[in-house]
Structure 1
Amino acid sequence: MNDIINGNKELTQEQRDELLKTLKARFEKNMNFHKGIEWDKVQTKLEANAEKLWSLNEMERTGGEPDVVGYDNNTDEYIFYDCSSETPNGRRSICYDREALESRKKNKPENSAIDMARVMGIELLTEEEYRELQKLGKFDTKTSSWVKTPVNIRKLGGAIFCDRRYETVFVYHNGADSYYGVRGFRGSLRV
């Protein structure tokens, strides 16, 4: 964690090798997530971008189990989402954003989803991205994940989160300053 504070967003060669090995194994295990995408091309992109590799390592370190879920032809980027079955364990018990965190008078959480994502170099999934993820499998059947909240909702003090129950994806609202042990956030990264 001190590396983040000091601004060092590079992995050692050993960390890079281990992360690439983990990502490749997950990629091969979940071929239905990324039909038509070749690992060698993904790896070439990753090896050319140390900071994005660092961000993927942060996703992995906090329990996100990132995997490739698509490719954007317009931008020539591979898209990674957190694909852990439940919201990442290392990103739970957090409120939505800094404003919500500072507004709490008592029992403040340690962090916020927006701040953590910014430090990690990733974006919170949007509601649409969350729904796309759910087409790949069953995620958040026991937990929930903050998603990027529209400005008009946030201005009124709220934030939205999603989960999957009863074979259905639900979108809910809560005060942005709320936090629960089973709510975290899922991120995305383009490489």
Structure 2
Amino acid sequence: MVITSDVLNTVDVPVRVTATRRDGAAVRLAVAPTPDARAMLATSAVSTVNAVHYPAGTMDLRASGAGTLSDLSTADVWRLAAKGAGSTELVVDQGRGPETVVVTSGDAKPLTDVTVTLAWANRTWFFEALVAATIGAVLAAFALIDLWQSRVIALRTDEAATGTTTSEATV
């Protein structure tokens, strides 16, 4: 399975890629610059992720190629790689894009029944909350000033109507 830069680099935050095989066999993730990954996979039969649908949590796959996949572990084009039994993950930062993630079986067997998860943090909520709190504080300050001013005006209106002044004395 191939996750191209068209999908991987659409967000500007690090993306955690997790691959899990149901049968518990070996799984390998590798990240390379997109042109290098394309050259490595040019004649191989692969499934490419075309789109990710959020919040449905689904991916559109496109099959291409007809040849067998060569041993990718010996190539020196991979910037990041992770291998595990049953499951593995790695984090792809966006500073070196465009990059492509390749998910393979980690051995000579075809990759079947695999779940791939892409996760990223949406940190904009903090700034949205900060703006909302600031606007709320400004509105509260204006409301208090307006309340105070209306109380002072009401006292002055009462004094003008009765012709008396009110003063307080403390003992």
TM norm structure 2: 0.22
Larger Rg: 2
Give the alignment's TM-score, normalised by structure 1: 0.21
- Higher relative contact order (CA closer than 8 Å, sequence separation 6+): 2
User: Which structure carries more strand by proportion?
Assistant: 2
Question: Normalized per residue, which structure has more helix?
Answer: 1
